[in-house]
Amino acid sequence: MAQISSGRRRLIRGGIAFLGLAAVSAAAGGTVMTRPDFGGKPEGERLRRMMASPHWAEGQFQNLDPMAAPPADRSQFEIMSEFLFDRNPARFPVGILPHMKTNLAQLPQNQFVWLGHSGFFLRMEGVSVIIDPALHQAFPLPGFYKPFPGADAYQPQDLPAADLLVITHDHYDHLDYETVRELKSRVKRAVCPLGVGAHLEAWGWEPECITELDWFEATKAGPLTITALPSQHFSGRTFRRNETLWAGYMFSANGVNVYHSGDTSWGRHFAQIREMFPQIDIALLEDGQYNEDWPGVHLLPKAWGEALEVIRPEAVLAMHNSKFCLSRHSWQEPLERALATTREEGFSLLTPEIGEAVALDPALRKSTREWWKTA
């Protein structure tokens, strides 16, 4: 029997994975494609404003730089196959993750709580903000990409009344239909990138309660200024991409700047952010779900350190980890690499457990520990 080359074996494995995914999509399509999770589609004045953005071209939003391509010797079939069928047990924690259950309604001013992944509850100068509260699974089909045990400590009912809901983009692990629908009755206003408001309106939010921002635009809530900033990523809740914008944010009040990167890979936007905000007190910088096969989607560990060197925050929290398994690295790897990088480069790394309160004032912060080593 003729020997099959390694390249051909990779192609065959990838083809099987692709066909399997296509079959599942086709079989489920009649049910899934009508689910409310998919949200709404921008139209009318919203669409006209989107199309007027300097970041819109060729029928969709564009990154500042072209998205980095996968390695040339890797086919999409191969990438999909290895992602779907990787059985590395280190991708998941063995037991329940260490966590705390802070009463968010009683959180003191100028503190924040990490909800896991990219989610936060922030009180800043009298304004309460909920950021990217993905509290359910990170996919619309039941049973897929559920939170790790312990990372699911907070449920929508645990989120108190708030002034703002802030969303970075419309991917399922950031814009969670179940959570956002429940928050509608107790959050005064939503802030999101251009086009994302169409999803919120489809889920019952009143148009006057939604503020949509382009990159470099800002809005205020009392003394707090929220500035939408570029990130290097993409958007979409179906097979169509980039029909809504994606963003990071700067939260500024009383001389303190807190940066939330959103999902991002490496790009010149970090230099632009540093120029606009030469003082960043705390950076909540995505670090996790990266893969060499998609270098243009998330920050690889080396690029994470390079981003720190550019924006130079007083302290950094490595987020976008420890809740969902959306890549092939071990679940602890992002935190281990962040710890090594910050020690080597001299940055202050914040390592709260999920649910642990962190003060914006460094003099009031408790010492943190390497909690993931006990999980």
Residue ranges of domains in the chain, CATH in brackets: 95-374 (3.60.15.10)
C-beta of residue 277 within 8 angstroms of C-beta of residue 223: no
Mean pLDDT of 329-336: 97
pLDDT digits (tens, 9 = 90+) for 281-292: 999 999 999 999
Q: Can you tell me the mean pLDDT for 354-373? A: 93
Tell me the per-residue pLDDT of 252-267, one tens digit each, with 9 for 90 and over. 999 999 999 999 999 9
Helix (H, G, I), strand (E, B) or coil at 248: strand
Q: What is the mean pLDDT of the chain?
A: 90
Encoding tokens for residue 212? 């949509």
Residue with tokens 């819109």: 56
- Where are any strands of DSSP class E within the chain? 56-57, 60-61, 111-116, 119-124, 127-131, 162-166, 187-193, 210-213, 218-221, 224-229, 248-253, 256-260, 282-286, 315-319, 348-350, 357-359
- Cα–Cα distance, 304 to 60 (Å, whole number): 27
199 φ, ψ (degrees, to nearest 5): -65, -45
pTM of the model: 0.91
State which amino acid sits at residue 61. F
Residue 30: what pLDDT?
45
Window from 122-126, 215-219, 293-297 with minimum mean pLDDT: 293-297
Query: Do 209 and 275 touch, CB atoms closer than 8 A?
Result: no
Neighbours of 96 (CB within 10 A): 13
Please report which confidence band the pLDDT of residue 375 belongs to, taking 50, 70 and 90 as the band edges: confident
CB 324 within 8 A of CB 173: yes
* Least confident stretch, 138-147, 261-270, 274-283: 138-147
